[in-house]
Homo-oligomer: A and B are copies of this chain.
Amino acid sequence: MSYHKDFCWLQKKKLKNHPFNNFIIKNATSLHETLKKEVAYFFEISLVEESEASLILEVKEESSIHPEGYKITAENKQVRIISSSDKGLLYGVYHLIRLFQKTKFVEEEILSEPENQTRMINHWDNFDGSVERGYAGKSIFFEKNSFRRDDENNELYARLLASIGINSLTINNVNVHKEESYFITDKYLNEIAHLASIFRKYNIKLFLSINFASPIEIGNMKTADPLNEEVQEFWNKVTKDIYDVIPDFGGFVVKADSENRPGPFTYGRTHADGANMLGRALKKHDGIVFWRCFVYNNHQDWRDRTTDRARAAYDHFYELDGEFNDNVILQIKNGPMDFQVREAVSPLFGALKETNQVLEFQITQEYTGQQKHIFYLVPQWKEVLDFDTWMKGKGSTVQKVLKEYPAKQKNNGITAVVNVGRDENWTGHKLAQANLFGYGRLIWDPSLSSDSILEEWMNGTFELSSNGKEILKSMMLNSWDTYEKYTSPLGIGWMVEPGHHYGPNIDGYEYSMWGTYHFSDSKGLGVDRTVATGTGYTRQYHDEVFEQYEDVATCPEELLLFFHHLPYNYQLKSGKTIIQHIYDTHFEGYEEVERYQVKWKSLKNEVDETTYLNVKERIKEQLQSAREWRDQINTYYYRKAGIQDKKGRTIYS
């Protein structure tokens, strides 16, 4: 395995002063070879048979440790990693690597178990090699409707994911096009099986995004009705064929009845009918279905101010709670809209009691700067997981809900659209790697702070002085705030160029069919989602949350315009009016990016040249883009409200 790629946080050279001379593996089965290879490679020690080895990896089946968890202890110059399965040993090894990347010995007993059972990555890769919402080059898996078969790269990628705890993967876009529909057939199953065999070595199960209309598209049938017996038979056969070649195949991810994708609605059936049909076909093979809840009317009339896209997922799925089979898992985006810079948390979390769920994040920076803008996403995700749904009183955070409801679930967890591509640095630029790393670490252990995750990532990635670390941290940790400041204000969202979603276009979605409006007029802006005078979306939350959002006085200000339509002269807690807040934040955000330039320049001698120049280029583009955001937003509101900036700065008239 040659490390031709800039191998980010898994850099062997960063391992320091470890005390190991040799190692032993006890009772590992399928992952034995992987464990052996990884330990030997990273620590440059040999596998031995003696029980006095300095590093011991041991499966104790009778242990109460979670099969993917691990305990690390140090005693008598021996370090021991124990788990109830060899999966846990693998994650323990990566933990050890992280420890020695920060030159820290094993000082106390470490017990780590994953908080989420499903820890998944979704690729939106198309078979032609393009990546939907991809900003790091073309697909690592596909090119021109064929499999790239870059086994070396795929294995690098598998261990990258394993090192942060990922255990599930889809390789193809949820928008399943014609040729990709054949992935589940003989035509491509050998290729899929080959990929599965690579990821299997790192405890990652392969899933496929499938086309709900497959019975028609590839099965030569006239219907895809989930209650039709022939359709059911089609799926039974499909799953059998898959499991014949991939016995541990994960299952399906489905985008149905969403943004023009086919689904059960065509046949007057419910999402439960559709999902359960697939669930039944997979059940006998222990497979599962992820059924996406990103369902809304995408032919809305902008004139209609009563329909509210934010309501859609809840309105569609809440009433089906309890109707889904136990191997069907609803996949719910973190917010009710679509991965905006700032939006409320989906009210489905805390509402569904009898339904398996995974939460879906977006690591790829679609609305968040497309890997040209620095944006460390972990703080945003953390805020979502920590959000209190009040499902069972105070403290019913999203993470707790995911873990505890429904009672016997075993696959709840988190998934995310990934940000990697064929770029030499995987993610467009090095700093964007922190989002992939941080995603894995956070969903394994949501109690970790954004800061400590960042620190772990920096330890693995760079050789920074402590001053350098502080500088980079100061850029990354306020990057959400910075981006939010120069883009759309106070939770309103959607002021981007339609289609590609990069750069400002304030009215770009204002007269569209997408249900994405800000309703700015001469007096004010915002979407009234209250029960009292608006769309009633606030009522989808439990009382305590509802009351907070419903009342403009208690609504968190970062979401103020997400929930309320307010006049430009409305006074915020800062004492500023909304219009002055818009002006101020837009100037501040731009100025912060100017400081990024200075800060990054000061790190010139602390990072490799390729990374330095690459990030420098990105920040230059970010600054240019932030300038457009600042000026277009400020001018737009100045022209609309006719109110002067109190500080007399340049707003183009």
Residues of A within 8 A of B (CB): 302-303, 305, 504-507, 511, 519-523, 628, 631-632, 635-636, 638-642, 652-653
Is B631 within 8 A of A303, CB to CB?
yes
Specify which chain B residues have a CB less than 8 angstroms from the CB of A520 in the assembled complex: 639
Quick one: which of B506, B632, B640 contacts A521, CB cutoff 8 A? Answer: B640
In the assembly, how many copies of this chain are there?
2
**CA distance in complex: A641, B641 (Å):** 9
- With A523-B642, A639-B521, A641-B522 already in contact, the answer to whether A511 and B653 are too (CB < 8 A) is no
Is B303 within 8 A of A521, CB to CB?
no
**CA distance in complex: A642, B521 (Å):** 7
The 9 closest A-B pairs by CB, nearest first: A521-B639, A522-B642, A303-B652, A507-B507, A511-B632, A522-B522, A640-B640, A522-B640, A303-B631
* Interface contacts beyond A303-B635, A522-B639: sample of 9 additional A-B pairs, CB < 8 Å, sorted by A: A305-B653, A504-B511, A505-B511, A507-B636, A521-B642, A521-B653, A522-B522, A522-B641, A640-B640
**CA distance in complex: A199, B520 (Å):** 57
**CA distance in complex: A37, B281 (Å):** 73
**CA distance in complex: A636, B521 (Å):** 8
> What are some 15 contacts across the A-B interface (CB < 8 A)?
A302-B652, A303-B631, A303-B635, A303-B652, A506-B507, A507-B636, A519-B639, A521-B638, A521-B639, A521-B653, A522-B639, A522-B640, A523-B642, A639-B640, A640-B640
Specify which chain B residues have a CB less than 8 angstroms from the CB of A506 in the assembled complex: 507
Specify which chain B residues have a CB less than 8 angstroms from the CB of A303 in the assembled complex: 631, 635, 652
Specify which chain B residues have a CB less than 8 angstroms from the CB of A642 in the assembled complex: 521-523
Q: Report the minimum CB–CB distance from A496 to chain B (whole Å).
A: 13
Residue of B nearest to A499 (CB): B499
**CA distance in complex: A568, B641 (Å):** 15
**CA distance in complex: A642, B506 (Å):** 19
**CA distance in complex: A640, B638 (Å):** 11
**CA distance in complex: A511, B302 (Å):** 22
**CA distance in complex: A641, B642 (Å):** 10
**CA distance in complex: A505, B498 (Å):** 12
**CA distance in complex: A386, B79 (Å):** 95
Residue of B nearest to A638 (CB): B521
Residue of B nearest to A520 (CB): B639
Specify which chain B residues have a CB less than 8 angstroms from the CB of A305 in the assembled complex: 653
Q: Report the minimum CB–CB distance from A639 to chain B (whole Å).
A: 4
**CA distance in complex: A520, B641 (Å):** 12
Q: Report the minimum CB–CB distance from A487 to chain B (whole Å).
A: 14
Interface centre among A303, A631, A653 (most CB of B within 10 A): A303
Specify which chain B residues have a CB less than 8 angstroms from the CB of A640 in the assembled complex: 521-522, 639-640
Q: Report the minimum CB–CB distance from A295 to chain B (whole Å).
A: 26
Specify which chain B residues have a CB less than 8 angstroms from the CB of A653 in the assembled complex: 305, 521
Specify which chain B residues have a CB less than 8 angstroms from the CB of A632 in the assembled complex: 511
**CA distance in complex: A303, B638 (Å):** 13
**CA distance in complex: A520, B653 (Å):** 10
Specify which chain B residues have a CB less than 8 angstroms from the CB of A521 in the assembled complex: 638-640, 642, 653
Specify which chain B residues have a CB less than 8 angstroms from the CB of A635 in the assembled complex: 303, 511
Residue of B nearest to A641 (CB): B522
Specify which chain B residues have a CB less than 8 angstroms from the CB of A522 in the assembled complex: 522, 639-642
Specify which chain B residues have a CB less than 8 angstroms from the CB of A631 in the assembled complex: 303
